[in-house]
Structure 1
Amino acid sequence: MAADDIDAFLKGLAARWQPASRKVICTSLRSYFRFRALLGDDTRRLSASLPAIANWPRRHPPKVLTDSQIEHFLHAFDRTDPVGLRDHAIARCLLDLGLRGDEATHLTLDDLDWRNGTVTLHRTKSQRVQHLPLPVQTGEALAHYLRDGRPQTDSRVLFIRHRAPFGVPLGVAAIRSAMNRAFARCALADQFCNTHVLRRSMATRLQKTGVSIKEIADVLRHRDVNTARVYAR
């Protein structure tokens, strides 16, 4: 094996592999060359020929919905139907509070403080309890769902199944499917899917109104402020 062989091999990978994958290959080759060196082979030139693979994270701004697309998306829910009321309330939580799908599934009736206008999150990714302000439009969507859409049940979980087995909390997959159906109804399924795009859209809207990166990181419950710097792009 010569340096030219390694160069040709990596160039072949470049046509079909992402930079992160090529970086793993280089790391594996370096480990192999160190192993061969322990056996007595001179692998210094081969190791030196391995390139440093550039793989800058978050090179592009996050893909988010525009204001008009958000309006179309929110109108894609049938609010004359109990399931539509539930899914619209979920969408508002994802868009207005920046909730992750898993955080939405664990919301309970006890987490809503109507008097003080706050929502308490107990099951966050960072394992920290966090209190968020409850926007008026989000509160109205939740109240409409609780008053006119939510089935009678002893469950304290906020978002539950409307079909048998009744009263069972919605899972992340069910919430993801509900949002994808809404994207399809408003002809946006070819551009967006799942729930995280709604969280990113909320963060981008905050950035456009002048909210600092630190404040966005706090709202998104990021431990590291650098994780939210992508929205500055």
Structure 2
Amino acid sequence: MNQKRSQQSTRPDLLATRRGLPTEPATAVDRFERYLAWERGLSNHTVRAYVTDVVSLLAHFVSECTEQDPRLHDLGIDSLRAWLSAEHERGASRTTLARRAAAVRAFTAWAHRRELLAEDPGPRLSVPGGRRRLPSVLREDQADSALRAAAAGAEQEDPVALRDHAVLELLYATGVRVSELCGLDLEHIDHEHRMLRVIGKADRQRAVPFGTPAARALARWLEVGRPELSGTASGNALLLGVRGGRLNPRSVRRIVHDAVSTVHDAGRLSPHGLRHSAATHLLEGGADLRSVQELLGHATLSTTQLYTHVTVERLKAIHERTHPRS
């Protein structure tokens, strides 16, 4: 990996720390970064987070080492625990500690496979699990109100309003991530079968269906709105910003916030919350967990189980319908 890419992928406040590492640990960081980006195909954001945590660990290891030329093979469980304890003393939350420990375990496993470590101390590193907080969720009637308001705003066929309506309909219809939505190109839409070809985490592709309301909103955007905003910077991007470039996640967050703010008692909601609302309403409508996992693009079912929830009313209905002594 060249120096320019390495600097772009690391937080500016850690560049000096990374450069200050001895040669062997510094080389290991560079190799690990290439592995994450090129072999595992992780996103830039994920690679940056992993590298940040590993640099922090190695900097602490070097500072605590009594050797003049610290060697990576001396990195053991005591060093990992000492670093994590220092992070805790600096005020890191349980969730943050769990994430950093996961990054370090990925590094030590990789280093052991590359014979940089005689044994892998990562599996012995444990931290209390952080509580997964579920995002806010709209009720079905609230989601309907937000989408109806967006549809009404698009009736004058203002290109931005048409785009915003299409954004909201697609997010709620498909439950895609905001990054996946912004990454859609024109050729990713199968209008005949009402399907999106989504490129998710680690470049995994999946097909996601959308319904008639989203299809109508998308058609009006493509017919009337997109040609008005399209320019030299548009390329094949499906959704465009006001200057003609690809729509960015920050703008999508604003679109969702503005739409939900018109709904009584809905509170604040992010695109992630709209994704969670879509998944919740699918489950409430009778979808099975495996199907929701496929639609959301989760690698494991356990992620879907943490990400979604079923209402008490649905559980009661299932019990009454299926239990012999309900």
Work out whether the TM-score is over 0.5. yes
Partner of 1:117: 194
Quick check: 1:218 aligned with 2:298? Answer: no
Letter in 1 for 2:213: Q
Partner of 1:57: 131
Identity, % of aligned pairs? 26
Partner of 1:175: 252
Deviation by residue 1:96-121 (Cα, 9 ceiling, x = unmatched): 10111111111111111112322111
Deviation by residue 1:64-89 (Cα, 9 ceiling, x = unmatched): 10011112211332112221110110
Partner of 1:69: 142
2:186–2:238 Cα contact (<8 Å) kept: yes
Quick check: 1:143 aligned with 2:219? Answer: yes
Partner of 2:236: 156
2:195–2:210 Cα contact (<8 Å) kept: yes
Partner of 2:180: 103
C-alpha deviation, 1:23, in angstroms:
7.1
Q: How many residues align?
A: 186
1:108–1:157 Cα contact (<8 Å) kept: yes
- In 2, the alpha carbon distance for the partners of 1:199 and 1:170 equals 18
Letter in 2 for 1:117: R
Partner of 2:15: none
Partner of 1:20: 94
- In 2, the alpha carbon distance for the partners of 1:109 and 1:22 equals 38
**What are structure 2's unaligned runs of at least 5 residues?**
1-87, 102-125, 311-326
**What are structure 1's unaligned runs of at least 5 residues?**
1-12, 28-51
- In 1, the alpha carbon distance for the partners of 2:249 and 2:223 equals 24
C-alpha deviation, 1:53, in angstroms:
8.3
- In 1, the alpha carbon distance for the partners of 2:222 and 2:265 equals 28
Deviation by residue 1:186-218 (Cα, 9 ceiling, x = unmatched): 3557x2222101000000011112211111111
1:126–1:221 Cα contact (<8 Å) kept: no
Q: Which of structures 1 and 2 has the larger relative contact order (alpha carbons within 8 angstroms, sep 6+)? A: 1
- Among 200, 203, 207, the alignment partner of 2:276 is 200
Letter in 2 for 1:125: K
- In 2, the alpha carbon distance for the partners of 1:147 and 1:117 equals 16
Which has more helix, going by share of residues? Answer: 2
Partner of 1:41: none
- In 2, the alpha carbon distance for the partners of 1:160 and 1:221 equals 24
Where 1:186 maps in the other structure, the secondary structure is coil
- In 1, the alpha carbon distance for the partners of 2:145 and 2:279 equals 19
C-alpha deviation, 1:181, in angstroms:
1.6
- In 1, the alpha carbon distance for the partners of 2:241 and 2:282 equals 32
- In 1, the alpha carbon distance for the partners of 2:96 and 2:183 equals 39
1:214–1:225 Cα contact (<8 Å) kept: yes
- In 2, the alpha carbon distance for the partners of 1:203 and 1:104 equals 16
Letter in 1 for 2:169: R
